[in-house]
Amino acid sequence: MSKVYVGMSGGVDSSLTAALLKEQGYEVTGVYMKNWTEDLPGMKCPWADDLADAKRVAVQLGIDFKVFDFEKEYKHKVVDYMIEEYKLGRTPNPDIMCNQEVKFKLFLEAAIEDGADLIATGHYARVKDGTLLQAVDTNKDQTYFLYRVTGEALTKTLFPLGEYTKPTVREMAKDRGLFTANKKDSQGICFVGKVGIRDFLSQYVEQTPGDVIDKKTNKLLGHHDGAIFYTLGQRHGLDVGGGLPYYVVGKSMEKNEVYVTTDLNDNTLWREVIKLSSVHWINNAPASGEYDIRVRHRAPLKKAQLSIDENGDVTLQLIDPERAVASGQSVVIYDGDVCLGGGIVA
């Protein structure tokens, strides 16, 4: 009988994952990953409640339960990385880094060392022979967040929810009487619950007022409390008065200035060519040619011509221009249902 350690977050998805694997005959151990426990002003970190919920489901299912403490490594690998990227004026994705460094590296290694044969999570994705495939529920598909996982890690990973839609998962959890069946999905950054990125960053960086400038006229339109808090294409949070909406089209971290325009066709808002660095292929690098790409979670797939240079960096020539692709964010590449990998916008 194979031993599988299930990452249980206290939510419905990972609860059902554990239940299904037990039903399929695996020897299941639930594991709560203690990644972040810090409270923020006005927001209590829900980790203790989530841990209690995960524990209750484990008791319900009659499975062993453990806590793995990754808080120190998590702060270093995920949180510090995110803060540094924002300081450089980029737009990182901490969920992607969490999967790469914690769930499918630290957790996998610790589980195998502890006697597991496999790990499992409640991600909406499918895996087959170390190949990552999109979930059946395209609305919930999470392969965008998983593109930096290795093929080797995937050979030791199970994603039981990849075949189901979210409403079906809720129903299946209710049918089994799982304690978390009606629990709301967590929102916001992977480690700070309902706190927005601006509120989170402001705990770690100084708010430094600066100017909001019209890109076309160079006219001063207003002020902001830190260029670090703004990203390309952003419309809300700009205190620049009435009239047509303004969009962020650039910023200078050195001058602490944010540049805006009312012109939705401004060329800095649109990209026909995207260059990727820090490229990661789940298995082998693909040949040059046409592939589907996704520029952010839940964005529709778009066609692009892919070429790889001698350094391994990728250039994507888009068939249709894409709006607000910010440096630091990830672009993920697909061949049909298969998630090949991706890279970080230069």
Contact by Cβ (8 Å): 121, 7: yes
Domains 206-261 and 270-345 share a fold: no
Q: Left, alpha or beta for 188 (phi > 0: left; psi -120 to 50: alpha)?
A: left
Q: Hey, which CATH number is domain 270-345, 2.130.10.10, 2.40.30.10, 3.10.310.10, 3.30.230.10?
A: 2.40.30.10
- pTM of the predicted protein model: 0.94
What single letter denotes the amino acid at residue 327?
Answer: S
Cite the DSSP H helix spans in 189-323.
197-201
Cα gap 335→42, rounded to integer Å = 44
3-state class (DSSP) for residue 80: helix
Instruction: Name the residues annotated as catalytic.
Output: 98, 190
Instruction: Return the CATH architecture of domain 3-175.
Output: 3-Layer(aba) Sandwich (3.40)
End-to-end CA distance of the chain: 46
Which has the closest alpha carbon to 160: 4, 21, 62? 21
pLDDT, tens only, 271-291: 999 999 999 999 999 999 999
Per residue of the chain (346 residues), what is the pLDDT tens digit? 899 999 999 999 999 999 999 999 999 999 999 999 988 777 788 899 999 999 999 999 999 999 999 999 999 999 999 999 999 999 999 999 999 999 999 999 999 999 999 999 999 999 999 999 999 999 999 999 999 999 999 999 999 999 999 999 999 999 999 999 999 887 655 555 566 788 889 889 988 999 999 999 999 999 999 999 999 999 887 878 777 899 999 999 999 999 999 999 999 999 999 999 999 999 999 999 999 999 999 999 999 999 999 999 999 999 999 999 999 999 999 999 999 999 999 9
CATH number, span 206-261: 2.30.30.280
The domain ranges of the chain are: 3-175, 206-261, 270-345
